[in-house]
Amino acid sequence: MAAWASSSCTRLAERCFGAAKGLDDFAVLDATTGLGLGVMTGGRLLSGNSDMAGEIGHVTIDPCDELCGCGNHGCMETVATDVALCRAVSRCYGTSLDVDELVRLVRSGEIHPDEEIRATIEYLSIAISMVINIFNPSSVFVRGKMLGAQENLFQQLLHLVRQRTLAAPLADCRVHHASVTKLQGAVAGIVMHLANALAPTFS
């Protein structure tokens, strides 16, 4: 599933099942595979002119960095996601790790990729800051398994976000670790598909 579609499903699931119940202005940043952004503003899902709103993962963060699957170099999703962290740690340790293995090994103390984790969290904080500065949401929900790799890692992320974000929009915004599951996201995806098929807008 494309990052924009996945994040839209996650966004709707968060509103239906998660901590975003009752919120009309919030964003969901999915940092699992691609870096997808879903935004609800005024109770409406923001989809854009061609249903491609939210491709924050393909904002260039470093034009001299890694080649992205989109063909560009240095896209945000190449440095700020679960997959990006796994790739960096796998390179460092000369093995292939998925995010579940990585989290387990870090938590057990078998590996110590502190530098790679710190770099990934730095980039993710930039993405969150961009979302808050541009969309001024009441809440941002961040989805990513890497956030469970170390104690207080989410708090470290929040500290970086506070350093990078304008004071005014940040004052009225809370950043949460997204709570929805894949199943809830799938159910929300079905709901979103039916809503799009049966009505011009869904709110």
Flag whether 199 is in a domain.
no
Place of tokens 């890692």: 153
Instruction: Identify the helix (H) or strand (E) that includes residue 45.
Output: strand 44-45
- Kindly tell me the burial class for residue 169, based on how many C-beta atoms sit within 10 Å of its own C-beta (0-12, 13-18, 19 or more): middle
> How many distinct structural domains can be found in the chain?
1
Residue 50: the pLDDT is 84
CA 166 from centroid of its chain's CA atoms: 20
Flag whether 11 is in a domain.
yes
Least confident of 16-25, 76-85, 115-124: 16-25
Contact between 131 and 95 (Cβ < 8 Å): no
DSSP 8-state class, residue 50:
T
Residue 38: the pLDDT is 85
Flag whether 56 is in a domain.
no
User: pLDDT per residue over 31-71, tens digit each?
Assistant: 988 898 888 888 888 888 887 888 999 999 999 899 999 99
Flag whether 103 is in a domain.
yes
Closest among 119, 106, 130 to 78, alpha carbons compared: 119
User: pLDDT per residue over 148-202, tens digit each?
Assistant: 999 999 999 999 999 999 999 999 999 999 865 554 444 344 344 444 444 454 4
User: pLDDT per residue over 60-111, tens digit each?
Assistant: 999 989 999 999 999 999 999 999 999 999 999 999 999 999 999 999 999 9
Flag whether 54 is in a domain.
no
Flag whether 119 is in a domain.
yes
Q: Which domain holds residue 35?
A: 3-39+62-190
| CATH code, 91 | 3.30.420.40
* More confidently predicted of 6 and 143: 143
Residue 189: the pLDDT is 43
Distance, in Å, from the CA atom of 38 to the CA atom of 120, rounded to the nearest integer, reads 20
**Token output for 78:** 């190449």
The mean pLDDT of 111-132, rounded to a whole number, is 97
